[in-house]
Amino acid sequence: MTTTDTTMRALVLEDFGDLVLVERPRPAPGPGEALVRVLATGICGSDLHGYTGENGRRVPGQVMGHETVGTVVTLGDAGRPGAGIEQSPVPLAEGDVVVLNPTLSCGGCERCARGMSYICADRRVVGVDPAISAAFADYFVVSVANLVPFGGETLHGALVEPLAVGYHAAVRGGVGAGDDVLVLGGGPIGQAAALACARLRAASVTVSEPAPERRELLGRLGVDVLDPGAVDVAVEVIERTGGLGASVVIDAVGSSATLGTALAATTAGGVCVLVGMAAPRVELDAFAVSTFERTIVGTFCYSAAEFAETARWAQDHPELLRALVSRTVRAEDGPAAFAAMAAGDNPAGKVLVTFA
C-alpha cells in the first residue's frame, strides 16, 4: 500500500475476527499533543479477545494497540518544552524514541486527587476506547504527558506496558525482600509479574504454567517453574516453603480453578493478587479467605510513576527482555498473526507488529 503525507496504514477491526490493513487519514496533534511514528506494537491478550469479540472490550471500526514504542514526529504547540502546562515529566523533542502510557485520566476527580489516576472515574485507555485511533497504525496522536522517553533496545519499548501491569500487580501484593511468591500462569503478564517480583527482591519466585515452551522461556528468566499437569501446585509450594505456603500468590489467569489453587497455596495471613481476567465471575472457597485471614487484592493498570520506573528498568535489562519476544511480524502480516493466535497458535512470549 502506498500512502501520502496526510495518510497512513492502520489495522482496522472491520468486524470480529476480521482485521484489515487500510489507508486512513493521518491524525494531527493538537495543543499539548504529539504525533508519534509507530515502530512496533505488541499484541495483548485483551486485543486478541477483543478481536474475537469474546471480551466485549473492543468494537468493529476501531484501531487497537496500546503496547507500543515509536518516535516523536511533531509536537503540537503547547507540547514544546516550556510552552504548555501538560508537559511530559521529561521534556520531549522531535525524534525522541518514546513509549506510550495508554491510560488517560481526567486529573480532576477524587481518585486522581488521591494519586490513583489509573482508576480515574473517567479513565480512558488508548487502544481500548474506540474513539481513539491507537497504535496498530503508522501514526497516533496522544498527550505528551502520556509519553515516556525510552533509551533501551527499541523493540523492547513495546514490552514496557505489560511489564508495568506485572510490576503494579507485585507492588499491590506488597512483594518485597524475603517473600516467597507463586505466580499462576506464565503468559506475558505472568512473565512480567515474575520479573517484577525478582526486581522487588523476593526470596523466591515460582511460576506454574502448563505449556512446555512457556516453562522453557520462564527458565531463561531465572525463575523456578512448575507444571500443573504433573504436580499439585499448592502441595508442592507448601512443601518448598517449609510447610507455610507462599506469602504472595499472583493469579495471572483468573479462573475459579486458579483462584482455588492460589488460596490453597497462600500462607495464612498472606495475599492473593488477582490480575488475570480469564473469567468475569469466579467461585471461591470463602472459608479459605476468612478463617486464614488471607487478603484478595485486585489489580489492573499501573501508576504513571510505576510506568516510568518500568521503562527505566526495561532499558537496563535487554538480555532478559530478549527472551520475552517470540515473534515480530510486519504490519501486512498483522491480520494473519491475529487469526493464527485466535485459532490457538499462541507463542511462548510476545508477538510484536512492526510499522517502521
Residues in touch with Zn ion (CB under 5 A): 44, 105-106, 109, 112, 120
Give 112 or 160: the residue with its C-beta nearer to Zn ion: 112
Q: Whole-number minimum distance, CB 202 to Zn ion, in Å?
A: 23
Q: Whole-number minimum distance, CB 127 to Zn ion, in Å?
A: 8
Helices assigned H by DSSP within 173-211: 188-199
Give 29 or 162: the residue with its C-beta nearer to Zn ion: 162
Alpha-carbon torsion 170, 213, 331, 21, what sign? negative
Give 38 or 202: the residue with its C-beta nearer to Zn ion: 38
Q: Whole-number minimum distance, CB 147 to Zn ion, in Å?
A: 17
Q: Whole-number minimum distance, CB 327 to Zn ion, in Å?
A: 17
Backbone angles phi, psi at 194, to 5 degrees: -65, -45
- Contact between 306 and 101 under an 8 Å Cβ cutoff? The reply is no
Q: Quick one: which of 246, 274, 40 has its CA closest to 160? A: 40
Q: How far apart are CA 293 and CA 269, in angstroms?
A: 5
- Contact between 253 and 262 under an 8 Å Cβ cutoff? The reply is no
- Contact between 139 and 356 under an 8 Å Cβ cutoff? The reply is no
Q: How far apart are CA 147 and CA 136, in angstroms?
A: 17
> In 10 A of CB 78, how many CB atoms?
18
Query: Could you give the 3-state DSSP secondary structure of residue 45?
Result: helix
Give 1 or 106: the residue with its C-beta nearer to Zn ion: 106
Q: Whole-number minimum distance, CB 123 to Zn ion, in Å?
A: 7
The helix-helix angle for 212-220 and 188-199 (nearest 10°) equals: 20
Give 20 or 106: the residue with its C-beta nearer to Zn ion: 106
Give 44 or 272: the residue with its C-beta nearer to Zn ion: 44
Q: How many residues does the chain have?
A: 356
Q: Whole-number minimum distance, CB 105 to Zn ion, in Å?
A: 5
Give 106 or 231: the residue with its C-beta nearer to Zn ion: 106
Q: Whole-number minimum distance, CB 171 to Zn ion, in Å?
A: 17
Q: 191: Cβ–Cβ under 8 A, 6 or more apart, which residues?
A: 166, 207, 217, 218, 221, 324, 349
Q: Whole-number minimum distance, CB 312 to Zn ion, in Å?
A: 20
The CA-based angle 338-323-180, given to 5 degrees, is 110
Give 112 or 238: the residue with its C-beta nearer to Zn ion: 112
Give 109 or 297: the residue with its C-beta nearer to Zn ion: 109
Give 29 or 187: the residue with its C-beta nearer to Zn ion: 187
Q: Whole-number minimum distance, CB 183 to Zn ion, in Å?
A: 17
Parallel, antiparallel or unpaired: strands 325-330 and 295-298: unpaired
105 HSE (CA, 13 A, CB side): 23
Residue 224 bridge partners (DSSP): 206
- Write out the three cell numbers for 296: 484478595
Q: How far apart are CA 23 and CA 137, in angstroms?
A: 10
Q: Whole-number minimum distance, CB 203 to Zn ion, in Å?
A: 29
Parallel, antiparallel or unpaired: strands 97-100 and 103-104: unpaired
